[in-house]
Amino acid sequence: MNIAILASGNGSNFEAIVKAAKRGYIKAFIKVLITDKSNAYVRQRAKRNKIKDILIDPSKFKSRLEFDEEVIKVLEKEKIDLVVLAGFMRILSAKFVKRFKNRILNIHPALLPAFKGENAIRRALQHNCKVTGVTVHFVDEKVDNGPIILQQAIEIKRGETLERLEERIHNLEHKLYPLAVKLFTERRIKIKNRNVEIEPL
């Protein structure tokens, strides 16, 4: 199975998934990184790991749809089976989602449907939530809305700083996301409407 990872920033989840594939935990080929930012640190991670890095500059396209159509072309050329969003800071068009229906994964630093969108960790802290967590889900046409594959909660400690909570959330992401990718590549995820079932080994 061929995997493409789309990322815009630091790329720590990219690194976690690549390492999981290298050690055989994920039995699939991380074929390409696609990014929309020339200075994204994730590109250095791709270079170190000898993974093809393709920059697609949004400023060269008239619309979001045209940009997405170019990404789709690359994914089809690379024969991609699974698209993994790892801090890709763009909302995908309906055409993109339809083309790769139930084959696009995203990770969100909250227990969806709570705190959709940006700054989810900060907002959970500001709301004095007792727990927050991480969600891995399929992508649909709405933001942070697709069927949930995996969720794990963590307790927010009294007096915890944003920086410490972010660190703990990211550490959890680096465990949960490779697991979700592993389950997908082993064809153990079954989906019907919004119901996701994971087949045991």
> Rounded to an integer, what distance in angstroms lies between the CA atom of residue 104 and that of residue 118?
19
Beta carbons of 85 and 139 less than 8 angstroms apart: yes
**Three-state SS at 12:** helix
Q: Which of 108, 137, 170, 174 is catalytic?
A: 108
Q: Which residues does 93 contact at the CB level (< 8 Å), separation at least 6? A: 64, 65, 68
Would you call 108 a catalytic residue per the annotation? yes
Q: What is the CA angle 75-40-153, rounded to 5?
A: 80
Q: How far is CA 167 from CA 10, 95, 160, in A?
A: 14, 35, 11
> Which residues does the annotation mark as catalytic?
108
